[in-house]
Amino acid sequence: MNNSENPTLEQRFKLPIILVSIVIPVVVAVLFSVKLKDFGIEVEPLSFLPPIYASINGITALLLVMGVMAIKNGNQKIHERLMTTAIACSIIFLVMYVAYHMTADSTVYGDIDGNKILDATEKANAGPMRSVYLFILLTHIFLSVAIIPLVLITYVRALAMRFDRHRKIAKITFPLWLYVAVTGVVVYLMISPYYAN
């Protein structure tokens, strides 16, 4: 691929990146609110998925750190493979996350009796950690939407061999993506004691 083609590659991906960045959050939000049982489809909750997709978030974080280390050591091919694998992990996470939420009710932080309502005692027991949890969860959700176009633009610029532009946006993408991956694990660890048995 010669340099004259590279700006064209970025331009060709501009509309798909915009569309994907809008469609994914909308589809996830819609599917998140859809329960298979509401359509008469009786399925056991996929309760084995949360620790798996939390682990995938952890693996994604490791891949991101290893990818940055690889490029700092001048190993572009390994960097490329690690970052591509991190994107694949994020996609796998998303599919599992949606599948779980289509088969199970949401879990409420602090809800000891599992009735989805926090009474005064449960609220008191959860204490300030509930606010910490909600802050981490909300920033995780917001940034997980924001990183979609950032990851795609960063990746396309690398494919287009526009490494000057790739590096500039990667400096923004990397810490945000790492935050989303790490907080995905933290959110799971904080909410897991309240999952229904």
The C-alpha angle with vertex 107 and arms to 102 and 111, in degrees rounded to 5, equals 160
**pLDDT in the model for residue 7:** 55
Quick check: 102 and 86 in contact, CB under 8 A? Answer: no
pLDDT, mean of residues 71-100: 96
Handedness of CA 58, 64, 69, 73 (dihedral sign): positive
- Which pair of structure tokens corresponds to residue 138? 């909300």
- In this structure, of 13-17, 21-25, 49-53, 112-116, the range with the lowest mean pLDDT score is 112-116
**pLDDT in the model for residue 2:** 47
**pLDDT in the model for residue 89:** 97
Instruction: Tell me how far the alpha carbon of residue 18 is from its chain's centroid.
Output: 18
- In this structure, of 81-95, 114-128, 179-193, the range with the lowest mean pLDDT score is 114-128
pLDDT, mean of residues 158-167: 93
**pLDDT in the model for residue 1:** 43
**pLDDT in the model for residue 113:** 87
Domains in the chain: ranges and CATH: 24-194 (1.20.120.80)
**pLDDT in the model for residue 48:** 93
Q: What percent of the chain has pLDDT over 90?
A: 70
The DSSP string of the chain is --TTTHHHHHHHHHHHHHHHHHHHHHHHHHHHH--GGGGT------TTHHHHHHHHHHHHHHHHHHHHHHHHTT-HHHHHHHHHHHHHHHHHHHHHHHHHHHHSPPPPTT-SSSSS---HHHHHHHTHHHHHHHHHHHHHHHHHHHHHHHHHHHHHHHHTT-HHHHHHHHHHHHHHHHHHHHHHHHHHHHHGGGS--
**pLDDT in the model for residue 163:** 92
pTM above 0.85, yes or no: yes
**pLDDT in the model for residue 70:** 98
C-alpha to C-alpha distance for 45 and 23, rounded to whole angstroms: 26
- pLDDT tens digit string along 48-58? 999 999 999 99
Pairwise pLDDT comparison (22 vs 38), residue with the higher score: 22
- Which pair of structure tokens corresponds to residue 14? 């501009």
pLDDT > 90? residue 145: yes
